[in-house]
Structure 1
């Protein structure tokens, strides 16, 4: 990875971590974790839809220097950097482990189910909405 890309990913990671900390400082840690995970999945849905649109636009245009570019995926600074630091599966695992250690199996299952459902809905919803918007435009 070129150093310029690595630097932008690192800076975006710092920003994502700061946002996560800011949310956690304002509300309960469990809800903060759910919120940042859902928002992060929504952003990744948007970014992947945007990348899909760019990829399809490039495929339909003749090759020229202005069209040729990387087809590696969505912006690494946004997805790996910002969203990678904003969201956290490891914190979710610790949250679930605490519930399980306390014998709160139902609570652990509920948080896991809620997180999976909400994050999936955010990803699919944002991706679908963006692609539908671009198809109409």
Structure 2
């Protein structure tokens, strides 16, 4: 079982890294990092909300889980594998450090603010969409 999970996480990581590379070949590296980080945050928002909906549905239908309500989180292949390889906080930190080293404090602040706002909006927005669908069904 552990090998299967590790293999799916690795395969998803390859896909995430491939997409990140593909985006980086098409746009400026600063914008590529921004785009993949926003996409990754949206995917994690969707995955965590979907997992929570499934957990609540099971709980309502079958009662609490035998593990005392503690269940595994969203799929590790999607969150750790795909999104882990797709996104990069460390690359954002390096990008900001380069702007600061070049004396572009305003640019560093703008990139940081934009990244935080956009990534948060993607995460929350995707969760809201999933939650709205639960309530409709």
TM-score (norm 1): 0.93
Give the unaligned 5+ runs of structure 1: none
Match in the other structure for 2:86: 86
RMSD: 1.7
Residues 55-80 of structure 1: per-residue CA shift (max 9 Å, x gap)? 101111126xxx98982100100000
Q: How does 1:68-79 map to 2 (within 5 A)?
A: 71-79=71-79
Unaligned runs of 5+ in 2: none
Please state whether the residue corresponding to 1:61 is helix, strand or coil: helix
Distance in 2, Cα, partners of 1:29 & 1:68 = 47
Alignment of 1:1-137 (within 5 A): 2-62=2-62, 71-137=71-137
Cα-to-partner distance string for 1:67-119 (whole Å, 9 max, x where unaligned): 98982100100000000000000100010000000000000000000000000
Normalised to the residue count of structure 2, the TM-score between the two structures is 0.93
Per-residue CA deviation, residues 9-33 of structure 1 (Å, 9 max, x unaligned), is: 0010010000000000000000000
In the alignment, the residues of structure 2 paired with residue 84 and residue 53 of structure 1 have an alpha-carbon distance, to the nearest angstrom, of: 23
